[in-house]
Amino acid sequence: MTGARIQPGDILVVDRALTARHGHIVVAVVDGEMTVKTLRLTDALPGLYSENRDYAPIPLINRDIQIWGVVTFVIHEAA
């Protein structure tokens, strides 16, 4: 994630047609819940990484994870 800085309340544009690759910000379904994460595939621990370092990465193995779509734009409220 190259400084996407997704803030609470931001609007995400999500493209379901794209194939998620390393470094993409994705909307993923983890245990039935939709969440936005960065997909890291080439790291020592491939998984979904949170922008917030307080949250541990979610490894791709042994979890029910689906990629819902790839985030292509982030819209912040200006005022």
Partner 1 sequence: MSGPFALVDCNNFYVSCERVFAPRLHGVPVGILSNNDGCVIARSEELKRLGVAMGVPAHLIAPALKRKIVLCSSNYELYGDMSARVLEVMRMHYAGVEPYSIDEAWIDLAGHTVKVDELNALRQAIRRLTGIPVSIGLAPTRTLAKLANRYAKRASSGVYVMPAPSDPAHPTLLRATPVDQVWGIGTRLALRLKAQGILTAHALSTADPHALRQAFSVVLARTAMELAGTACFEMNDADSDKHALMTSRSLSRATQCPIALMQAIRQHTNRSAEKLRQQGSTARAVMLTMSTSKHIGPDRHHGRVVIELDHPSQDTFMFLRAARQGFEALYQKGVRYQKCGVMLMDLARTDQQQLSLLENVSGEETLNDALMSALDRANRRFGQRALTVGFIDGAGPWQLKCEHRSSRCTTRWDELARVRRT
Residue 8 touches partner 1, criterion: CB under 8 A: yes
What residues between 53 and 72 interact with partner 1 by CB under 8 A?
55, 66, 68
Token pair 């803030």 in the structure block, residue: 7
Alpha carbon dihedral 38, 40, 43, 45, in 10-degree steps, equals: 80
Q: Of 2, 3, 17, 78, which one interacts with partner 1 (CB under 8 A)?
A: 17
Among residues 38, 33, 56, 34, which one has the least CA distance to residue 48? 38
Written as one letter, the residue type at 6 is: I
The size of the interface with partner 1 (CB under 8 A), counted in residues, is: 19
Binding site for partner 1 (CB under 8 A): 6, 8, 11-12, 16-17, 27, 29, 32-36, 50-52, 55, 66, 68
